[in-house]
Amino acid sequence: MTGALALYQPGTSVLHRAPAGPSFVVVLLFAAGTVALDDPWWLGGAVALVVLGYVVARIRPRRVRGLIRTLALLAGLILVIQWWLIGPREAAVACLRIVAAVGAANLFTLVTKVDDLVGAIERALGPLRRFGVDPERVGVVVGLTVQAVGTLAGIAGQVREAARARGAERSLTAFALPFVVRTLRYADELGEALAARGWGDRREP
């Protein structure tokens, strides 16, 4: 599951060297924590922790430019709507939750190879084969789901940047059509990756 689908940025940081399985659990617990917290200050600290993670991992700025733009737009829209509906504090909480969770998931995809995550899940679920669980299938689905967060955010950022360069940043069509086309292309590449693993050849009993 490499090549055009890979988001991994090679590195030697402590986050790059961390085992895929435990790292994934930490990301899940972190995301759950952002949902449980409802204090803007604590959530702001969570966002700061994510930013620190990018610094520790020495992620190149160009790799997160698209994510930053996408999160800024999404958070801005949510802030305006939530502020109008339920107030400023709740709006800040909603925005910070999204920024922290999506930022953490994207960082995970940048410092962890998808194949390592898939392998860790397969090993963890191996004993469940006797109960009809397919560890490889579960591992691939989880890996691709996590990876898709960063991929789609990156696509959205690149499309928005291209529209801005053409002076069409306010045009919904200038964003929506290229985004759909590139998303479909990503889905096609995803299908090829799954076919390479033999999924397309399997027949359900």
Is residue 30 within 8 A of residue 39, CB to CB? The reply is no
**Average of pLDDT values for 163-172?**
69
Is it the case that residue 23 has pLDDT exceeding 80? Answer: yes
**Encoded amino acid at 189, one letter:** E
End-to-end CA distance of the chain: 26
Is it the case that residue 175 has pLDDT exceeding 60? Answer: yes
Per domain, the residue ranges of the chain are 3-198
**Predicted confidence (pLDDT) per residue in 130-145, tens digit:** 777 777 777 777 776 7
Rounded to the nearest 5 degrees, what angle is found at the Cα of 183, between the Cα atoms of 79 and 195? 135
**Average of pLDDT values for 104-118?**
84
Higher pLDDT among residues 40 and 69, named by residue: 40
Specify the pTM: 0.68
